Amino acid sequence: MKRLGVLTGGGDCPGLNPVIRGVVRKAVLEGYEVLGIKNGWKGIIEADMAPLDLRSVSGILPKGGTILGTSRTNPYKKEGGVQKVKDNIKKFEIDALIAIGGEDTLGVANRLVKEGVKVVGVPKTIDNDLNETDYTFGFDTAVNIVTDCIDRLHTTAESHNRIMVVEVMGRHAGWIAVHGGIAGGADVILIPEIPIDIEEVCGIIKKRHAQGKNFSIVVVAEGAKFDEDDEVLQSEKLDEFGHVRLGGIGQTLGEMIEKKTGFETRVTVLGHIQRGGSPTAFDRVLGTRFGVKAVELVKQGKFGYMVSLKGNKIEAVSIEKAVGTLKTVDMDLYEIAKVFFS
Q: Is residue 296 over pLDDT 60? A: yes
Q: What is the pLDDT of residue 229?
A: 61
Q: Amino acid letter at 88?
A: N
How far is the C-alpha of 77 from the C-alpha of 162, rounded, in Å? Answer: 47
Structural domains of the chain, count? 2
| Residue 140 falls in the annotated catalytic set | no
Q: Is residue 98 included in any domain, yes or no? A: yes
DSSP for 232-246 reads -EEE----TTS--EE
Q: What is the pLDDT of residue 227?
A: 77
Mean pLDDT for all residues in the chain:
92
Query: Looking at the structure, do residues 287 and 271 belong to the same domain, yes or no?
Result: no
Query: Looking at the structure, do residues 201 and 85 belong to the same domain, yes or no?
Result: no
Taking only the tens place, the pLDDT of each residue in 202-224 is 999 999 999 999 899 999 999 99
Query: Looking at the structure, do residues 246 and 312 belong to the same domain, yes or no?
Result: no
Q: Is residue 335 included in any domain, yes or no? A: no
- The pTM is what? 0.91
Q: Is residue 243 over pLDDT 90? A: no
Residue scoring higher pLDDT (153 or 244):
153
Query: Cα-flanking dihedrals φ and ψ of residue 282, to 5°?
Result: -60, -45
Q: What is the pLDDT of residue 241?
A: 53
Instruction: Using the 3D structure, point to which of 234, 254, 275 is the last residue of a domain.
Output: 275
Q: What is the pLDDT of residue 233?
A: 52
Q: Is residue 337 included in any domain, yes or no? A: no
Query: Looking at the structure, do residues 17 and 61 belong to the same domain, yes or no?
Result: yes
Query: Residue 98 CA to chain centroid, in angstroms?
Result: 18
Q: What is the pLDDT of residue 234?
A: 55
Query: Looking at the structure, do residues 38 and 159 belong to the same domain, yes or no?
Result: no
Instruction: Using the 3D structure, point to which of 255, 275, 295 is the last residue of a domain.
Output: 275
Average pLDDT of 318-323?
A: 94
Average pLDDT of 14-20?
A: 96
Taking only the tens place, the pLDDT of each residue in 219-235 is 999 999 987 666 565 55
Please report, for the domain that includes residue 164, its CATH number: 3.40.50.460
Query: Looking at the structure, do residues 297 and 264 belong to the same domain, yes or no?
Result: no
Please report, for the domain that includes residue 44, its CATH number: 3.40.50.450
Instruction: Using the 3D structure, point to which of 235, 260, 275 is the last residue of a domain.
Output: 275
Domain extent at residue 198: 140-275
Q: Is residue 278 over pLDDT 80? A: yes
Taking only the tens place, the pLDDT of each residue in 42-74 is 999 999 999 999 999 999 999 999 999 999 999
Average pLDDT of 316-332?
A: 93
Query: Looking at the structure, do residues 210 and 99 belong to the same domain, yes or no?
Result: no
DSSP for 295-335 reads HHHHHHT-TTEEEEEETTEEEEEEHHHHHHSB-PPPHHHHH
Which of 12, 104, 127, 129 is labelled catalytic? 127
Taking only the tens place, the pLDDT of each residue in 88-113 is 999 999 999 999 999 999 999 999 99
Query: Looking at the structure, do residues 151 and 270 belong to the same domain, yes or no?
Result: yes
